[in-house]
A and B are shown apart, each in its own frame.
Chain A
Amino acid sequence: MRELTYVEALRECMSQEMRENENVFILGEDIGVYGGAFGVTRGMIEEFGPERVRNTPISEAGITGSAIGSALTGMQPIVELQFSDFITIAMDQLANQAAKLRYMYGGKGNVPMVLRTPAGSGTGAAAQHSQSLEAWVAHIPGLKVVQPSTAYDAKGLLKAAIDDPNPVIFYEHKLLYKTSSEDVPEKMYSLPLGQADIKREGTEVTIVATSVMVHRALEAAEVLAEEGISVEVIDPRSIVPLDEETIVQSVIKTNRVIIAHEAVKRGGYGGEIASMITESEAFDFLDAPVKRLGASPVPVPYNPELEKAMTPQTEDLVQACRESLQRA
């Protein structure tokens, strides 16, 4: 199999899809000859031309709204929103239009669009370019929310997102763009939304981790394995829809669960997952408090040490597992 980076996997998915499907086009800021702020669309305008790789003015509401309008009338647009922080500007169009049109109209009209956007800290981009706001959109019925953690998942999930007849917010992570998977098939494939992936099997404690936290969870599991602690790592891959069953079954097996995301812990989606677990069949199997790890409730700081201190690191996950198992 081929090794491909996350960026390459995304680009390959879009390119392959656009070769097959005339309804798919990309619009966003600086996605033309510049290739997008993170190089995801590099080379695409050369292949597909400016009609289908549509460089836009800096008008997030307008770009998003026009994508919704085009989706409602038969296209399958992919919006590249340059930084996920800018979703605030596009929020009316996402929350009040894209998410609701179908329901408000009594089931008529679909909005088959994807809004791709890079989230996360770790690049020194500070408070307005580093947030993880997935919980905002996950709260809105009508939107789907995807967070791929690997190149392999990125390609398959993006394909599923493009094919989905609903608006999908597709959260990429800046720190993951250069990571690679060794096994990304060239042939197009789709990974269903709402199907979690057990990234590592274990028996004593479950970590439910999203996006970049999946990698830290796997590192933590490695450290803990040396101490004889068996950790299961579950990557939900999409938080809406959420594969509740896989998480619940894992917790029933391990009796302990840590939920880790990069977003601020307060009001983060981890709270939703934690509540789901305690409301589920798994409640009676919990042998330790459900523990959430998320960022401190502060704007993302610039200084690299402060930035790192804000978000859960591998050691925090290791410690949380030990505490859960009372082996701290």
Chain B
Amino acid sequence: MAKEIFMPKLSSTMETGTILQWMKKEGDPVEMGEPVFEVMSDKINIEVEAYEEGVLLKKYYDVDDVVPVNTIVGYIGEEEEEVPETAPEEPAPEETSQEEEPKEYADTVPATADANGQIRATPAARRVAKENGVLLSDMEGSGPKQRIHQQDVYDYVQAAGEKPKATPLARKRAEEQNLDLNTVEGSGPGSKIYAKDLTGSGQKTTGAEPGRIPVKGIRKIVADRMAESASTVPHVTLYSEVDMTEAIRLRSQLQDKIVEETGYKLSYTEIMMKAVAEALKRHPYLNASLSADQQEILLHKEINVGLAVATEQGLVVPVVPRAGEKGLTALVQASKQLAENARNQRLQPEQMQGGTFTISNLGMYAVDGFTPIINQPEAAILGVGQMKETPAEENGNVVFRPKTTFSLSFDHRIVDGAPAAAFLSDVKQLIEAPYELLM
């Protein structure tokens, strides 16, 4: 019996979702827990994973289609099974979808909102939110029943850094118009942006004038650091194609157990992190940095792996500390919480410090390989591309294997090509035969 794939309701305020990409074509086999498509809601982007295994029988919507929540977007089932030719019109009953809403999604819904979408917050929190032009729905509360207190708002505002001041209405409008508030000049006190300020800016961006985006806040930090790294560090990038077959198997075998223990799903990122951490133990020069006076190479005892995370505000790199000592369960726990904090702009500064190696995963995009820029002062960074079925030779036959391209950029001042290549080879081997990780 074919199973529907729904547009999930990812937050209490989400009414529609935009399909960003399909990871599967019609006819592709789908494993349970495998991402099927990626959706953008009013708050977040998220990969929607299959709850069934089988074949993607049908997809009714294309990339960029805006689909109401709880609408059937496709079917997974047995090959040759019959499903409707066109999308069923009635959105599926809410109950069904809620039942099937995975916990991971539920956690991304602002917990402060009650069933009616009312937000529990103290008057002081509301005042501070209003003064700072931030939305209570964007933050989580520390009080009883997740009530948002004044300090929560201060924390949020601080995390948001130089995020422009704007009224909630302006923020909502900007979101609707896909307009970056950084491009808008506010007419209110302290350059606070009102909804009316958006009109001019909106036109500006569509006119001959280029949109002007101040380089500040996280954008500025990223800009400075990348420029410095690219101009001072002699980068070399190595590529390697990695067969993910065993990693996929490992993931599906461990999935239930890890969900049970952590409430989070195991993703490939954590398997890669585990493999990288293991390989770094064998290759200390890749887990190193240059001293400030460039007179010494510091070989780090701890393996702290940073994860590049794209947020609305820009790139942030939360760090999973002592990744080398953690099993997969602990890695899932740590990295999922960091990613969540990053998305909610609740990362603490210390959670972004002390990294010794970085992984940048662009696998959700149609990217094969790239030249990642090293997150200084680290010695190397691993870029991960999309997984795709790639022809391979097996016993004289051509077979298709799920493969991902790994791109390793390293600092040639610290390490040479051969040891770096040896490291990447070890990573590849650990991913392709992940049981070695148990050794």
Q: Do chains A and B touch in the complex (CB under 8 A)?
A: yes
Interface residues of A (CB under 8 A from B): 255, 283-288, 326
Contact between A285 and B127 (Cβ–Cβ < 8 Å)? yes
B126 CB-CB contact with A under 8 Å: yes
Q: Is B149 an interface residue (CB 8 A)?
A: yes
Q: Which residue of A lies closest to B131 (CB)?
A: A284
Which A residues lie within 8 Å of B125 (CB)? 287
Is B150 in contact with chain A by the CB < 8 A criterion?
yes
Q: Is B143 touching A286 in the complex (CB atoms < 8 A)? A: no
Whole-angstrom CA separation of A285 from B150 in the bound complex: 9
Check A326–B124 contact: CB distance below 8 A: no
Contact B124–A285 (Cβ < 8 Å): yes
B143 with A255: CB separation less than 8 A: no
Q: Top 4 A-B pairs ranked by shortest CB distance?
A: A287-B124, A284-B127, A287-B150, A286-B123
Decide: B142 and A287 in contact? CB cutoff 8 A: no
Q: How far is the CB of B123 from chain A (nearest CB, A)?
A: 5
Kindly state the separation between the CA atoms of A287 and B120 in the bound complex, as whole angstroms. 12
**Distance of A10 from chain B, by nearest CB (Å):** 41
Closest to A287 in B: B124
Q: List 27 A-B contacts (CB under 8 A).
A: A255-B124, A255-B150, A283-B123, A284-B123, A284-B124, A284-B126, A284-B127, A285-B123, A285-B124, A285-B127, A286-B122, A286-B123, A286-B124, A287-B122, A287-B123, A287-B124, A287-B125, A287-B149, A287-B150, A287-B151, A288-B122, A288-B143, A288-B149, A326-B142, A326-B143, A326-B144, A326-B149
Please give, as numbers and ranges, the residues of chain B lying within 8 Å of A255 by CB-CB distance: 124, 150
User: A-facing mask of B329-351, CB < 8 A → 1, else 0?
Assistant: 00000000000000000000000
**CB closest residue in chain B, given A283:** B123
Chain A contacts for B127, CB-based, 8 A: 284-285
What is the predominant secondary structure among interface residues of chain B facing chain A?
helix
CA distance A326 to B142 in the complex (A): 9
Q: How far is the CB of A209 from chain B (nearest CB, A)?
A: 22
A288 CB to closest chain B CB (Å) equals 6
Chain B 139-158: CB-based contact to A (< 8 A → 1; otherwise 0) = 00011100001110000000
Q: Which residues of B come within 8 Å of A, CB atoms?
A: 122-127, 142-144, 149-151
Give the distance in Å from the alpha carbon of A295 to the alpha carbon of B273 in the complex.
60
In angstroms, Cα B140 to Cα A241, docked, is 42
Cα–Cα, bound, A71→B365 (Å): 90
Q: Which of chain B's residues have a CB closer than 8 A to the CB of A286? A: 122-124
Q: Which of B122, B124, B125, B127 has the most CB of A within 10 A?
A: B124
Q: Which residues from chain A contact B143 at a C-beta distance below 8 Å?
A: 288, 326
- For A287, list chain B residues within 8 Å (CB): 122-125, 149-151
Residues on the B chain within 8 Å of A288, using CB? 122, 143, 149
Q: Which residue of A lies closest to B127 (CB)?
A: A284
- Within the complex, the shortest CB–CB distance from B139 to chain A, in Å, comes to 15
- Chain B's nearest CB lies how many Å from the CB of A196? 22
Given contacts A287-B150, A288-B149, could you give 19 more A-B pairs where the C-beta distance is less than 8 Å?
A255-B150, A283-B123, A284-B123, A284-B124, A284-B126, A285-B124, A285-B127, A286-B122, A286-B123, A286-B124, A287-B123, A287-B124, A287-B125, A287-B149, A287-B151, A288-B143, A326-B142, A326-B143, A326-B149
Residue numbers in A under 8 Å from B151 (CB-CB)? 287
Name the CB-closest residue of B to A326: B143
B124: which A residues are within 8 A, CB to CB?
255, 284-287
Minimal Cβ-Cβ distance residue in B for A285:
B124
On chain A, the residues within 8 Å of B126 by CB distance are 284
Residues of A with C-beta under 8 A to B144: 326
In the complex the two chains form, what is the Cα distance from A285 to B130 in whole Å? 12
Among B123, B143, B151, find the residue whose CB has the most chain A CB atoms closer than 10 A.
B123
| A283 surroundings in chain B (CB, below 8 A) | 123
CB B48 to nearest CB in A, in angstroms, measures 36
Q: How far is the CA of A287 from the CA of B124 in the complex (A)?
A: 5
Residues of A within 8 A of B123 (CB): 283-287
CA distance A286 to B127 in the complex (A): 9
Most buried by A among B122, B127, B143: B122
CA distance A15 to B125 in the complex (A): 53
Distance in angstroms from B149 CB to nearest chain A CB is 5
Q: How far is the CB of A309 from chain B (nearest CB, A)?
A: 26
Q: Which residue of A lies closest to B152 (CB)?
A: A287
Bound Cα distance A165, B310 (Å): 72
Query: B142 — which chain A residues lie within 8 A by C-beta?
Result: 326
Contacts of B150 in A (CB 8 A): 255, 287
Q: How far apart sit A284 and B149, CA to CA, in the bound complex (Å)? A: 12
A326 to B143: give the CA distance in the assembly, Å: 7
**Interfacial chain B residues near A326, Cβ < 8 Å:** 142-144, 149
Q: How far is the CA of A286 from the CA of B148 in the complex (A)?
A: 12
Measured CB to CB, the closest approach of chain A to B205, in angstroms, equals: 36
For the complex, what is the distance from the CA of A151 to the CA of B109, rounded to whole Å?
Answer: 57
B66 to chain A, nearest CB (A): 38
Q: How far is the CB of B375 from chain A (nearest CB, A)?
A: 37
- Residue in B closest to A282 when the chains form the complex, CB atoms: B123
Per the bound structure, the CA–CA distance linking A326 and B145 in Å amounts to 12
Q: Which residue of A lies closest to B151 (CB)?
A: A287
* CB proximity of B366 to chain A, nearest CB, Å: 47
A285 to B151, CA, bound (A): 12
Please report the C-alpha to C-alpha distance between residue A155 and residue B126 in the assembled complex, in whole angstroms. 44
- Taking CB atoms, residues of chain B closer than 8 Å to A284 are 123-124, 126-127
The CB with the most chain B CB atoms within 10 A, among A255, A284, A287, is that of A287
Inter-chain CA distance A255–B126, complex, in Å, is 13
What is the CA–CA distance of A159 and B326 in the complex, to the nearest angstrom? 74
- Give the complex CA separation of A255 and B152 in angstroms: 14
A238 vs B151: C-alpha distance when bound (angstroms) = 34
B148, closest chain A residue (CB): A287
- Docked pose: A326 CA to B148 CA in angstroms: 12
Measured CB to CB, the nearest residue on chain A to B142 is A326
Task: Give Cα A283–Cα B125 distance, bound, in whole angstroms.
Answer: 11
**Chain B residue at minimal CB-CB distance from A252:** B124
Interfacial chain B residues near A285, Cβ < 8 Å: 123-124, 127
A255 CA to B122 CA, complexed, in Å: 10
CA distance A287 to B144 in the complex (A): 12
Chain A nearest Cβ from B128, distance in angstroms? 9
Chain A residue contacts of B122, Cβ below 8 A: 286-288
Taking the nearest CB of chain B, how far is it from the CB of A120, in angstroms? 33
Report the minimum CB–CB distance from B108 to chain A (whole Å).
24
CB distance from A256 to the nearest CB of B (A): 9
Minimum C-beta distance from B154 to chain A (A): 11
A203, chain B: closest CB distance, angstroms:
14
* Smallest Cβ-Cβ distance to B126: which chain A residue: A284
Q: How many whole Å from B132's CB to the nearest CB in chain A?
A: 14
